[in-house]
Structures are given as C-alpha cells and as structure tokens.
Chain A
Amino acid sequence: MTDIKELSYRQASEELEAVLRQLESSQLELEESLERYERGVALLRELQGRLAQAQQKVSVLLGEVEPESDDSVDASLS
C-alpha cells in the first residue's frame, strides 16, 4: 500500500472515498474492515492536515510581480 505522504491530495481523497464505499458494502472480512478503517482515518487526518497547513508556493518563471496597488487600470471614462 502506498505511503500516504506520497499520494497527491486528489489521489488521497479518491482513496478515502473508496475506503468509505468498501466499509459501506458488507464484502469485507472483519480483519480487513479494521485495516480499511485505520487507513481511512489516516487518509482523513492527512488531508485535513494538508488543507489546514498549506502555504501556497509561487514560482515566478518570467517577469517581476509588482506588489498590489490601488491605482488599478481602469479604461472606462470617468
């Protein structure tokens, strides 16, 4: 099973959805259901953590971004 840290957010959230579906079906062995539950909880914690702590990374490939100013461009006649 893939290490949760290596999953993308989307992959992790898709897997969480799948775990929920498996738990909702009655097809699992008892041991398996416990294992699925633990995996689901781990996925949940990871996703919540990522969302809560994310810091956006901006890589500037070209140009230089000017800080935001109030004199925004307004082409309409005043």
Chain B
Amino acid sequence: MANIIKNPRNGCALHGALQTVQEIQGVVPVVHANASCGVINYLANSKTSGGNPRFSGYSTPGTAAQERHVIFGGASRLREQIKNTVKVVDGSLYIILNSCESAMVGDDVDAMTREIVEQGEPVVDTLIAGFNGSAYYGYEHVLADIFKSVYELKKNEGEKNPRLVNIFGIIPQKDPYWQGNLEEITRILNGVGLETNIFFGADGGTEDIENARNAALSITFGRWGELPAKVLNEKFEIPVIQRAALPINADDERALIEGIEEYITIDQETKEHFLEKEQKYELNYWSRVRDEIIENDLGRTVAIVGEEEHVIRLGKLVQEVFGAEVVAAVLTDALKKDEEHTLDNGEVLNSIAKNIYKTSDQKDINDIIRQSKAELVIGSSLEQHVADKHGIPLVEASYPVYHKTILNHSSIGVRGIVGVIAEYITAVKQADKEKEEKLQNKLKEFKGQNVWQEHSYKKSHNVKQVGLVSQGAVRESI
C-alpha cells in the first residue's frame, strides 16, 4: 500500500549527484535526464541558504529528454549535447549524469563518452538514476563513479603527498553549513601541518579530484562518503578513517588528530600547541555564556531533526554545553535497509537521544516533536510550523534552511560551534521574549476587559477579585 510522504526533503539521487558535481570548480555537468529534472533541483535549492554555484538551474547543460528519446533512445541526443557543451562551455572535467530515462531505456552512454574522449575531451560518465535513492546516494555514487573512471583520463599521476587527507561526508548543499564546515575542517588539519582535499567550494576543484589518488588518508564524517573512500582504497590503497560525526570541541579535534596519527606522522609540538590554542578559544567562549545558561535555564528538553551526523554532533553539543536532554532524535537520512555501509552508530546515538526515529515524512516528524514535549527543536525550516504551533524555539541547522543566508559560516570545530551556541541561546531568548510579550498583550487585553467589566458589572462588586486572579495567573506563567 502506497503512503504519502509529506515534504520529503531528500530529493532524488540525480539531485544529490548534480549538486555534488556543481560544487566542484572546473566541472561542467551534463545532465542526461528528463526535461526539468535538473531545474527541479535548482528550484528546491535556490530557496535555501547557500547561494548558487556557476552551473545551476537553467545554465546547466542537459539533454532534456522527451518521449521520443525514451522510445527511440536518447544516446544520439546526448552525443549532440556533449559536443555542443564542450564547444561553448570551458571546463577541466565534463561529467555526464545519466538518470532515469537513460537507465530504463539503456542508452549506450559509454560509446558516446568514448567517442568524445577519443577527441581529447575530458569527459566521464556516471549512471545515477533518480530512482536509485536519495540525494545522499547521489553524492556518494557520483563521487565513486568519478574516481572509478577519471584516472583513465588524467594520466599524469603526480606524486604521493604524505600529508594530504581526502575529506568525505560534508555534502554540498545538503549540509547548510557545508562551505564553512569544509573551511573549518581545513583550518583544523592545517593547524597540525596537514593538507586537505575538500573537492568542493572556494578551495576545492578538479585538482582535488586529480590529487585524491595521491592522498595519504581518507576521512569520512558520518555515513555518507564511505563508498568513494572505498574506491580510492581499492584503487590506490589509501587507508580510510570513519568518524561518526564532525568535531565540536578541542577534545573531538584531539581524537580526530590522534586517529590520523595512526597513518600520518604529526609533529607533537605543533599538535599540542595547536590544540592548546583550540582549548583556550573554546574555554573563552563556552565560559562566556555560563550566566546565560543559568539565567535562561538553557538545559531544556530538545528534539533534533536532521541527518544522523547532525543528530550526533548537535545532540552531543547541547548535552555538553547546556546540559540539555535530547528527548527525540529524528534521522532524516536513514535507510530502511543499509547494505552499502559498514558504519554503525547505534551505540553513539543511544548515548545521545532518549528516543530515535527514522523518517523524512513531515507528518511523522511533527507528531514526534509534539509527543516528545520538547522545549526546543533543532531542525530545518520545515519544522518551523510545528515549532510555532507549540510555541517552542527552533534552531535551524539542517537542510533545508530558508530565510537565512549561510555562506562561510561553520557549525563545527571550536570556532564554528560558537555560532551554533549563540544561535541556540538567541532562539531561546527570543522565544521567551515573544512568550512574555504575548502574555503581556493578553494581560493588557485582560485589563482592558476588566475596565469594561468594571463598568458593566459595577453593581456586582466582583471587579477587584477578577483583577487579582488574572494578575496572579499571568505572573505565574511568566
């Protein structure tokens, strides 16, 4: 029996693949899919927080497959599109994203790609049918497909870089803070003398794709990223470290660095010096809010809605900083059956949240939040409605975030997490203030009513008593 999923937030695999390759500088995506598949992704993401990359929406090259391409095959249309694209758009790597139409009809895309590669153009093709999975699937598989074939094109091997680390799991556009988070993880690793291949954003690009094979290590944060890291491991024997979540404090940063030390030698003096500075920075800001924590009673019951990695990271943060209790955690990226990944975060999740749910159905999520009786929600803008309805503050930290522009802000590391702490406190204070204002307005109305009542019931002599009761009730609520 089919079920309706309200406000699904994960998009399809093509969307994940498209937003992944769009954010690699130098890459030109060529979407071989039904007309508007790429545009739908643009329309969804253009309303969210992170701005738009060079190739987005209507400027993305695509075949816009029609019914006749389904019936007669779309390979020749794709050939036409690739040839035109390489003529008019400069790129250091052209990535063909074959989606549903191509997958179902079985277009011979390999032949089209070979043809254009033989003419000296850097083109790789990937088969990411939208129906294969969500945007998370698309992120992982498109990277895995690229790594499987790109080195056939880019023959120049370069040299192994013993300090280079590949970063996976910070998903472009899916993590509202992806740009800042990539910068923050780079800052941390640079701090102990390491270099990063972050692939995406201002400091990423096709060079990172080319250099990925020369890295000394790959790190995956959260569930998503294991597959491309595995491909690099199989092809170039690059070891992989899996972390349940991105770091939130100096201790996490230490644990991360010590994990890396199993594969890469790090100068101890540099490390300790760096971590000492991190600790100092953390202590400075965390202790600055101690009064806020007590005065505003910030140790509230919290519901967190987002990717598993967000839930682990932010759940741990609110527990440690505010003494909050996570009464409900909703994993919006969880699969019913996950046979592709080895990472099991069950234990970590249980240590963070009292109740764990797996759903991306807004109706379920709203019910979970309501039943949890949480006093604060950390989630996406899609939780705004339920939060407003129950008069509880919302901290927007997971996809999608509307009405807020997030560019290089981070939500990880000792520097990025300060912003999240500030947002949490601000959200609580604002909500409390709004609540207070609402009550005061009610009180005013009520007092106004009393005047009317005083006038109307002058002869009843009950006016004084009504006023006393209402004032008392208001004070208690405040």
Q: Do A and B come from one complex?
A: no
- Interface residues in chain A, defined as those with a beta carbon under 8 Å from any beta carbon in chain B: none
